[in-house]
Structure 1
Amino acid sequence: MSEALIRVDTPAPGVARITLARADKYNAINPDMIFQINDAFNDALKDNAIKVIILGADGKHFSAGHDIADSVEQYQAAVTASDRQVGHWSDFQAEGTHGWYAAEKEAYFETAKRWRNISKPTICTVQGKCIAGALIFPWVCDIIIASEDAVFSDPVMTFGMPGVEWFAHPWELGARKAKEFLFTADSWTAAEAHRLGMVNHVVPRDQLDERALEMARKIAGKPVFALKLAKEAVNKTLDIQGQANALDAAFYLHHLGHSHNFRVFNWGMDPTNVPGLATTPKKAG
């Protein structure tokens, strides 16, 4: 049995809360964590008593993003070993681009797409640093509440990548700010995220959980079918505007970046500008 990397509780009637519980490793994300979160979302979805889902994290920081300590082979093996099929791909340990693309699409893109479209309202609470792959969590949720000390970033341009798998940057930040933060690999504060419309509310750190729970209680008091219809209406509006197709297209470009780096550096990222990041080249999938 894999280690428990999340915690699930019911802090109020009609409210489920999923908490990243790997604070000793800055809540770094690996496939086990992803599939545990997916299981928790599924459980909350199937439980008719649950009307709202909160996603948060233990510790000083929300998440450091993907755990890049694992080799490609370990990553692919973890996805292969999981019996939680989410998307439409298989052969996760196939050679070359096939296996790596399939594994990452299943674990990081198809799961994100599923969470974004779960019919029940979702709230994400973010504190401290939320880096790169960790952006996927708040971005697929319906509402984001951040603490005043929250800082967001997607620095993967430095590693030779165009952005993380769930490329929602233009939708969350606007096209010009998305380009600025991607090109420079700079971070943006909770206040800036709020100004740009990415974050709903910014609150003191010690009020983060209570403010999220207060909103969840308010939402849970509304008719459940109406909540589901309203969520689907907004998501479909974004889809009609092209968000779904844009995310699909950006994921293909994400993997073009990986393929290039594997070919040049024998690793999925370019270590040139990050001394010590890849002291041992990692074989391509």
Structure 2
Amino acid sequence: MVCRVTIPSPLSAAELGPDTTPVAYDVVGATAYITLNRPEFRNSQNSVMTYSLDAAFGRAVDDAGVKVIVLRGAGKHFSAGHDIGTPERDVDVKYPNTATLYWDHTDRVGGDQRLARETEVYVGMCRRWREIPKPVIAQIHGACIAGGLMLAWICDFIVASDDAFFSDPVARMGIPGVEYFAHAFVLGPRRAKEILFTGERFGAAEALEWGMVNHVVPRDQLEAKVDDIAGRIAEMPQLGLALTKKAVNICEDQMGLRNAMDSVFGWHHFAHSANAETMGGDSLGGMDAKSMKSSAGKQSS
């Protein structure tokens, strides 16, 4: 298949939520390409990116001509995770809730504030996106760290380049993994413990061996591979795809994914509160973006 080359254009604020910068949207044929677009910050996810991403997914769902959605990242990396230290971090900014019915976090304090925000923009958004009734393919290259894993794991397929690497190093904060805790389901319990206990990176070949990704290809073939899969999916009837996706998701939930995630989310917030009690109110245990980057560990063998 001929490799398609396009430069996605950010939507206007009216078309795509609170801001035009952090997400780009492009439709070619029956495929919507949604691009994380903060390459200068390794596509770390601030709130405006989260809400713009939600708006982009909504636009793709509403477009009857779109059969498949591709989620990808601009620049050198897919996503370095949640924004915990860039100049554009907007943790205290209010956006209208769309994922859950919960009160605004910006006029709350302490554990109440953290729980309200993370229920909405982390667990709530990811669960909302997991239920998108159209197939979603994650196109992963470079870093896919912590919150980047959350975005990849809500997708139906993951196709990675051979230079992709993955990590969830947040145990270094004293926290049991990211909020969308699907680790034991996508990696198996022993691999999940290994990557969480060590915080080390694992590569695309390991992710393929462990069953976390569908395909690994050379970097220069990544786009063509994703386009080929999207093209084959687009030949299927839309309702059939939606019902099949729902069926598999139901099976995964029956195996305990949703209940396990609810339970671990509680322990996640206990960890935030424990940190805040001993670190002068710092729920991240003294870690910031720079220290988390340096702590991601070496490529595991």
With the length of structure 1 as denominator, give the TM-score of the two structures.
0.91
Q: Give the corresponding residue for 2:253.
A: 239
Q: Give the corresponding residue for 1:6.
A: 23
Q: Give the corresponding residue for 1:127.
A: 141
Specify every segment of 5 or more residues in structure 2 that has no aligned partner in the other structure, as ranges.
1-17, 293-301
Instruction: Report the alpha carbon displacement of residue 157 of structure 1 after superposing the two structures with TM.
Output: 0.8
- Rounded to whole Å, the distance in 2 between the matches of 1:171 and 1:105 is 21
Instruction: Report the alpha carbon displacement of residue 3 of structure 1 after superposing the two structures with TM.
Output: 4.7
- Rounded to whole Å, the distance in 1 between the matches of 2:111 and 2:68 is 38
Instruction: Report the alpha carbon displacement of residue 143 of structure 1 after superposing the two structures with TM.
Output: 0.1
8 Å CA contact 1:35, 1:84 repeated in 2: no
- Name which of 174, 183, 190 aligns with 2:197: 183
- Name which of 88, 91, 95 aligns with 2:104: 91
Taking only aligned residues, the RMSD between alpha carbons, in angstroms, comes to 1.9
- Rounded to whole Å, the distance in 2 between the matches of 1:70 and 1:50 is 34
- Rounded to whole Å, the distance in 1 between the matches of 2:265 and 2:61 is 26
SS of residue paired to 1:4 = coil
Task: Give the residue type in structure 1 aligned to 2:269.
Answer: H
Specify every segment of 5 or more residues in structure 1 that has no aligned partner in the other structure, as ranges.
279-285
- Rounded to whole Å, the distance in 1 between the matches of 2:145 and 2:188 is 19
- Rounded to whole Å, the distance in 2 between the matches of 1:262 and 1:191 is 38
8 Å CA contact 1:121, 1:231 repeated in 2: yes
8 Å CA contact 1:8, 1:19 repeated in 2: yes
Q: Give the corresponding residue for 2:10.
A: none
8 Å CA contact 2:80, 2:144 repeated in 1: yes
Q: Give the corresponding residue for 2:15.
A: none
Instruction: Report the alpha carbon displacement of residue 48 of structure 1 after superposing the two structures with TM.
Output: 1.1
Instruction: Report the alpha carbon displacement of residue 269 of structure 1 after superposing the two structures with TM.
Output: 1.4
Instruction: Report the alpha carbon displacement of residue 90 of structure 1 after superposing the two structures with TM.
Output: 1.1
Q: Give the corresponding residue for 2:77.
A: 61
Instruction: Report matched runs for 1:162-173 at 5 Å.
Output: 162-173=176-187
- Rounded to whole Å, the distance in 1 between the matches of 2:255 and 2:290 is 42
Q: Give the corresponding residue for 1:40.
A: 56
- Rounded to whole Å, the distance in 1 between the matches of 2:126 and 2:289 is 31
Task: Give the residue type in structure 2 aligned to 1:222.
Answer: M
With the length of structure 2 as denominator, give the TM-score of the two structures.
0.86
8 Å CA contact 2:83, 2:289 repeated in 1: no
Task: Give the residue type in structure 1 aligned to 2:163.
Answer: D
Identity, % of aligned positions: 42
1:129-188 C-alpha deviation (Å, 9 max, x unpaired): 111111111100000000000000001111221100111110111000100110111111
Q: Give the corresponding residue for 1:158.
A: 172
Paired residues, what number? Answer: 272
Instruction: Report the alpha carbon displacement of residue 69 of structure 1 after superposing the two structures with TM.
Output: 1.4
1:199-245 C-alpha deviation (Å, 9 max, x unpaired): 00001101111111111111011011111111011000001111111
Instruction: Report the alpha carbon displacement of residue 86 of structure 1 after superposing the two structures with TM.
Output: 1.6
- Rounded to whole Å, the distance in 2 between the matches of 1:277 and 1:219 is 41
- Rounded to whole Å, the distance in 1 between the matches of 2:42 and 2:26 is 21
8 Å CA contact 2:165, 2:204 repeated in 1: yes
8 Å CA contact 1:271, 1:277 repeated in 2: no
SS of residue paired to 1:262 = helix
Task: Give the residue type in structure 2 aligned to 1:15.
Answer: T
| Structure 1 residues 70 and 96, CA gap change in structure 2 (3 angstroms) | farther
**Does residue 145 of the first structure (1) align with residue 159 of the second (2)?**
yes
Instruction: Report the alpha carbon displacement of residue 74 of structure 1 after superposing the two structures with TM.
Output: 4.3
Task: Give the residue type in structure 2 aligned to 1:31.
Answer: S
- Rounded to whole Å, the distance in 2 between the matches of 1:187 and 1:16 is 30
1:18-40 C-alpha deviation (Å, 9 max, x unpaired): 00111111111111101100000
Task: Give the residue type in structure 1 aligned to 2:232.
Answer: K
8 Å CA contact 1:136, 1:166 repeated in 2: yes
Q: Give the corresponding residue for 2:225.
A: 211
Task: Give the residue type in structure 2 aligned to 1:134.
Answer: G
Q: Give the corresponding residue for 1:283.
A: none
